Amino acid sequence: MKRLFKLTAALAVFILIHSSLQAQGLVGQDSTRRVITTAVPFLTITPDARAGGMGDVGVATSPDANSVYWNPAKLVFIENNIGFALSYTPWLGKIINDMSITYLSGYYKFTKEQAVAVSMRYFDLGEIFFTNEAGGSEGQFNPREFSFDATYSRMLTQNLSIGVVGRYIHSNLTGSFSSGGVEARPGNSIAADIAMFYDKDLLLSGNNSNLALGAVISNIGSKLTYSDENNKDFIPTNLRLGSAFTTSLDPYNKLTFGLDLNKLLVPSPRYDGSESEKSLLSGIFGSFSDAEEGFSEEMKEFTVSAGAEYWYNNMFAARAGYFLEAEDKGNRKYLTVGLGFRYQVFGIDFAYLVPKEQEHPLAETLRFTILFNFNKSVQEEESVVD
């Protein structure tokens, strides 16, 4: 049983409670393959409906309150001064009826070139029931995980910005449950994100266009344990690279194409299980060259997200996208669609996920987001980057 608490958050819960899910990870991956597993995988789940409708594209798309998650450096380019967003996602609803993700974020742009933000992610894994080896009841518990973020974004030039995030992570999967003399305990960690964003307006064939590029390293932080200091797991340190091209077809119609690449900066799985023995820095810097099957396996560890967004009169939006993961690394492949609406200070987004594989646990995933954006009345000030 000691090994139980060394497993990732997803597998710990599923093996203990939902035996029917043992072959499917918490993020919908096929865990019977050479999947990179970490603690607190909820940190990698798309929280908002706009990006969710574009195949999980968000690194370089136009900024909004959810940029705190996708690329904090984008925040300073937002047109409004104050705003917040609330997102809700029933998770793995095809097979579990009480699991959900809630995401709340808010920003404040206090000068032309500076913005701050806070956000919270809350993952409710639903009610679970513990049993002993004889099948007797050991009680029930509601496992939950959450993170709190604080963000600062700064414009360096008219086209370039940076962003940093500090994060506290808490994961409580088993409460006071213990077995075989091993005491379980909640896991805690602290982490940071660093990000850059480049935004450039263009004039192509008489049309106003925009090219944006972004890069983010997220969840750079300490390992997490559910038992003792000898059993620690990596958190999902991740590299995101993204681009977005937007063009105005006419004064009323606008189209954006986005492409994101993601790679976990944690050790690749090894046949002897020794990947867990690496330190944080060796895991990050070695994550591009440690796969036992060489370069071909390293390339398979990248996921690809591609999406498009159409706006009519900056009020109505339609979105579509595709997410692709290598078969040997989780085999997630799904199409997404979404809709959006904006009116004055209010906005609402909706997204729907359609996996390639039938009866997939991610099937019929819905996401909902509401947004509010406001402008404060302040005297216009001269920018230091003009």
Is pLDDT above 70 for 45? yes
| Average pLDDT value for residue range 254-283 | 86
Minimum mean pLDDT among 60-64, 83-87, 132-136, 382-386: which range? 382-386
Give the DSSP H or E segment for 73. none
| Average pLDDT value for residue range 97-120 | 95
Model pLDDT, residue 22: 35
Distances (CA, A) of 338 to 73, 253, 356: 25, 17, 17
DSSP string for residues in 132-154: -TTS-EEEEE--EEEEEEEEEEE
Phi first, then psi, for residue 39 (nearest 5°) are -75, 165
164: confidence class by pLDDT, cuts 50, 70, 90: very high
Is pLDDT above 50 for 13? no
What pLDDT digit, counting tens, does each position of 209-238 carry?
Answer: 999 999 999 999 999 988 877 788 999 999
Alpha carbons 119 and 103: distance in angstroms, whole number: 7
Model pLDDT, residue 162: 98
Position with higher pLDDT, 356 vs 130: 356
Give the three-class secondary structure for 327. Answer: helix
Percentage of the chain with pLDDT > 90? 61
Model pLDDT, residue 146: 96
**What mean pLDDT, rounded, does the chain reach?**
86
Nearest CA-CA partner of 36 in 216, 292, 221: 292
Domain boundaries, the chain: 45-125+142-374
Interior/surface letters 49-80, b for 16+ CB within 10 angstroms, e for the rest = bbbbbbbbbbbbbbbbbbbbbbbbbbbbbbeb
CATH architecture of 45-125+142-374: Beta Barrel (2.40)
Asked if 364 and 93 touch (Cβ cutoff 8 Å), the reply is yes
Position with higher pLDDT, 102 vs 205: 102
Residue 89 forms beta bridges with which residues? 101
